[in-house]
Every structure is written in structure tokens, then in C-alpha cells.
């Protein structure tokens, strides 16, 4: 299978590299040409627009920041829909609204194209190592065909259900991720201000009932003063906005997620969008009038 990949950011570039390393011929497109140049040096072909990518591949992936970005690449001038052909499969690794994913699936279905919404979790480390969790919505027939490609980028691939179900799972994932990041920030600042060593507190609790991915991976970076992404706080805020808008659309109250959403909005207002999502601790620091010792 020849693979197209559109969107070579923090997540998309290492994912595309792993697909290329697995032996799949690749065509790439990205607004920033530096990432394209890097993939071309490793053997990929360059395309000048999304339509050109779609015309020349068997499977086309997108990995873009938000719903409007994906819609533009699909429906816009020189977009993917203009380059569809028999046998093409579309896969979206972006995190977007479930209802938009269903709209996109319907548009491809009209063209006779199978499509999957397949957002991922695992951050830049998982993208680099090829160990992402992939949450898939869409027809099982399409998933079966692209599974060899998924195996190059992910460790856990789950078929959640019909179109949109992958994005529902990702929204649920981001509810939990935000809760963990905020809780970690609170427990670290609480421990320090109450007079205990936060690093010792982490050692004491991370193998008990509080154990989670966040406590396993983020504290060493924070204790080292490293708040670089990772997964950008601005994208976490975007994902929580998707969660909150979807909660209104589906009629689901999410009181604690609403609070966490406001904390990430506070990060945006304090020019912290480019920091890691664990840097939400900075908002807790401001509220507590202290800083984490590093």
C-alpha cells in the first residue's frame, strides 16, 4: 500500500516516519516545508496539495490541529475529496468533534471511499516509539485493510464502533488526561506548601491507588524545570473545548471537566499555550502564590 500523510507536526512527523520505516511508500504534504524536506530525505515523495496526495496513494492520513483544519484539507480547493478514486481509504489521526467526523465519513461515503476516524493517545514519546493507543471509528473492512499501517505507529488498536466513535473515545480520554494533569499540579503544590518533599510524596503514592500514566511520566520533567511539550497546553485546551461543545450537543453535564477547561483557558490567557499540558501546574502555582521547587 502506498500511504499519504498530511500534517507533520509534533505527532504527525514521527508517525509518518514510522510508517515510512515500516516499508510503506509515502507521499507527504504539510504547510511548513521543513518537515516535508525531512521526510523526503528519508525517502518520501513531496506533494503540492492534498488533492495530489489523494490521487497518488491507496491510504491517506491526516493529522491536523482542529476540526476546521481537517474540513479545509478535505473540502477546500485542491482538497482530498477532489482527488478520491476507487479503493482509496481515508484515515484521520486528528482530534476533532465527533459530529464533524460523522459529517466527513458521510461525504467520503458519497464518493465510494471508506473512512476511519482514528485519533491517538500517548504523546510525542508514543509517536516516536510507535507505541500509541489508536481509537478507531468506522467500518471494520477499512480497519482490516489498514491494520498493517496502524501496527507501525501503535501498540493498542481498538475498534470502538461506527464513524465518530473513535473521536468519542478520544474526548473521553482527554477528560481523564486533563483531570490527571490538574490533580498532579494540585498534589505537588499542596505537598510542598504543607511542608513535605513533593518528590518523596510522588515516590510514596505512585505505586498505590493514585498510580497513573501522568504520575509515571510527568513529575521528573517538572522537577527538572522542563515544561516544554510533550503535548501542548494549547492543544489540550482545544481538545477540552471539543469535549465541552460535544457535551452540550449530547446533553451530558461535565462539571469537573468544565473547571479543568477553565484552568487551561487561563493558561492561554497567560501565554502558556506552547508549554506542555502538565504546565497547568503554573496556574495552581499562581493561585497558591508559590512555585514548585526544582
Tens digit of each residue's pLDDT (9 = 90 or more) over 231-289: 899 999 999 999 999 999 999 999 999 999 999 999 999 999 999 999 999 999 999 99
Tens digit of each residue's pLDDT (9 = 90 or more) over 203-235: 999 999 999 999 999 999 999 999 999 889 999
Distance from C-alpha of 158 to C-alpha of 136, rounded to nearest angstrom? 6
Helix (H, G, I), strand (E, B) or coil at 173: helix
pLDDT of residue 55 exceeding 90, the answer is yes
pLDDT at 123: 86
Q: Where are the beta strands (DSSP E) in the chain?
A: 3-6, 26-29, 45-46, 59-62, 89-92, 114-117, 120-121, 132-137, 154-161
User: Mean pLDDT throughout 184-204?
Assistant: 98
> All domains of the chain, ordered by start, with CATH?
3-162 (3.40.50.720), 168-288 (1.10.1040.10)
* CA 20 to centroid of chain Cα atoms: 20
Give 82's DSSP letter.
G
Q: At what angle do helices 165-194 and 233-250 cross, to 10 degrees?
A: 120
Which residue out of 13, 97, 170, 238 is catalytically annotated?
Answer: 170
pLDDT of residue 157 exceeding 90, the answer is yes
Instruction: At 28, give phi and psi (nearest 5°).
Output: -125, 150
Burial class (CB in 10 A: 0-12, 13-18, 19+), 99: middle
Q: Give the three cell numbers for residue 133.
A: 493507543
Whether 200 is catalytic is no
Q: Are 50 and 6 in contact (CB under 8 A)?
A: yes
* Selection from 61, 55, 56, 48 nearest residue 19 by Cα: 61
Q: What is the pTM of this model?
A: 0.93
Q: Which residues contact 261 (CB under 8 A, 6 or more apart)?
A: 178, 237, 240, 241, 243, 244
Give me the residue label for grid cell 510508517: 19
Distance from C-alpha of 103 to C-alpha of 232, rounded to nearest angstrom? 27
Amino acid at each position: 500500500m502506498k500511504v499519504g500523510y498530511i500534517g507533520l507536526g509534533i505527532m504527525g512527523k514521527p508517525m509518518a516516519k514510522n510508517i515510512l520505516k515500516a516499508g510503506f511508500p509515502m507521499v507527504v504534504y504539510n504547510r511548513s516545508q521543513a518537515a516535508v524536506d525531512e521526510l523526503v530525505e528519508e525517502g518520501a515523495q513531496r506533494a503540492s496539495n492534498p488533492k495530489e496526495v489523494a490521487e497518488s496513494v491507496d491510504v491517506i492520513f491526516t493529522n491536523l490541529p482542529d476540526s476546521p483544519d481537517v474540513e479545509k484539507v478535505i473540502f477546500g480547493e485542491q482538497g482530498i475529496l477532489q482527488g478520491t478514486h476507487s479503493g482509496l481509504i481515508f484515515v484521520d489521526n486528528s482530534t476533532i468533534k465527533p459530529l464533524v467526523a460523522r459529517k466527513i465519513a458521510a461525504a467520503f461515503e458519497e464518493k465510494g471511499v471508506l473512512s476511519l476516524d482514528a485519533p491517538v493517545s500517548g504523546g510525542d514519546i508514543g509517536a516516536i516509539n510507535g507505541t500509541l493507543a489508536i481509537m478507531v471509528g468506522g467500518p471494520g473492512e477499512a480497519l482490516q485493510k489498514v491494520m498493517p499501517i496502524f501496527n507501525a505507529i501503535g501498540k493498542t488498536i481498538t475498534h470502538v464502533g461506527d464513524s465518530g466513535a473513535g473521536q468519542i473515545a478520544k474526548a473521553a480520554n482527554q477528560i481523564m488526561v486533563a483531570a490527571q494533569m490538574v490533580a498532579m499540579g494540585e498534589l505537588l503544590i499542596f505537598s510542598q506548601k504543607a511542608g513535605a518533599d513533593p518528590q518523596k510524596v510522588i515516590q510514596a503514592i505512585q505505586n498505590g491507588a493514585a498510580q497513573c500514566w501522568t504520575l509515571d511520566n510527568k513529575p521528573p520533567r517538572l522537577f527538572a524545570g522542563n515544561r516544554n511539550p510533550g503535548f501542548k497546553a494549547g492543544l489540550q485546551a482545544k481538545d477540552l473545548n471539543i469535549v465541552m461543545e460535544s457535551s452540550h450537543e449530547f446533553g451530558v453535564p461535565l462539571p469537573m471537566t468544565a473547571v479543568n477547561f477553565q484552568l487551561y483557558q487561563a493558561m492561554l490567557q497567560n501565554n502558556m499555550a506552547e508549554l506542555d499540558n502538565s504546565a497547568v501546574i503554573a496556574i495552581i502555582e499562581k493561585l497558591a502564590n508559590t512555585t514548585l521547587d526544582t
